[in-house]
Structure 1
């Protein structure tokens, strides 16, 4: 692979875009619709890694030899229950009601796939602690912030994160949708350098 691979971000997430930009990486965005279903026997980190690798497969045939596609999937786990993106506002309220007053785990799975067929899949875990939230706070957040595009129905970087998250164990950026410390480590192994 050439010393300066081209990075393709296969994500519509503004948070992932911002994190890669903050790393100083140049990248191109390519989007394809990929179903986010997974085998029911998978648990926690396995789900996030499976979904990231599954998304990358959709890009395999179209990658040039000097390209690397980055796919990712973030899930929220309350015990063994996977809370993905809510289906509607009522589902978001239900999820947040379950999360409040306790801790949960956030997993982000990442897949890096090169045009030459090399594949690296990994995940990162962060434990998030929420204070007890009132029904009014939960309703306000869902109505005003429309968190339907977020796993677990919240973003740590927005209003609910500001008023509800009391403690994190692990990477804050992982909760935002990309464990950038691990991504950078793996990209440097593939030839990416500080410019």
Structure 2
């Protein structure tokens, strides 16, 4: 692959970078600094699809002629998207709400090709937590782990202890669904499928 067509990951997430590296594919990382606010009345699926696409398109606008991969993840409880907590108290409230309940994690991936065409995939995973003890929630928040994560938890860290069941994509919950990403990369000719 020549430098002009080399892939760019439009993300600041070290978790997404690590997961994408599993494809043994050369790529650059260029965080997309966009407004990730949920729009009034926007459903969770529409939100994650839009944000993943906007991240990829924002970087593509600066780096034309390159493939750009964007991704976004939302934790959904009922009809409500739980974003990244703004502070410790928001994290505490989110974790209490997720305790002993089922929620869904939506993870969207968007690939913009060098000509600007966009392809997308969506991963939906059902996650059920056991009851989260209050003392554990306090320790978890003190660790700093919930601060930059949708729903105030990272399944790949200490919160994984409390996952009673998971149906769907584990890597989608981490932030980059590998199967769906592989489909996009394979269709684009960036990896063999």
Q: Whole-Å Cα distance in 2 between the matches of residues 32 and 78 of structure 1?
A: 26
1:138 paired with 2:115, answer: no
User: 1:1-195 alignment to 2 at 5 Å?
Assistant: 5-65=5-65, 67-161=66-160, 163-194=161-192
The CA deviation at 1:42 is 2.0
Helix, strand or coil for the counterpart of 2:146?
Answer: coil
Alignment check: 8 A CA contact 1:72 1:111 kept: yes
Corresponding pairs, count:
191
Name the Cα RMSD after superposition: 1.7
Q: Whole-Å Cα distance in 2 between the matches of residues 61 and 46 of structure 1?
A: 22
Alignment check: 8 A CA contact 1:83 1:95 kept: yes
Structure 2 length-normalised TM: 0.93
Q: Which has the higher helix share?
A: 2
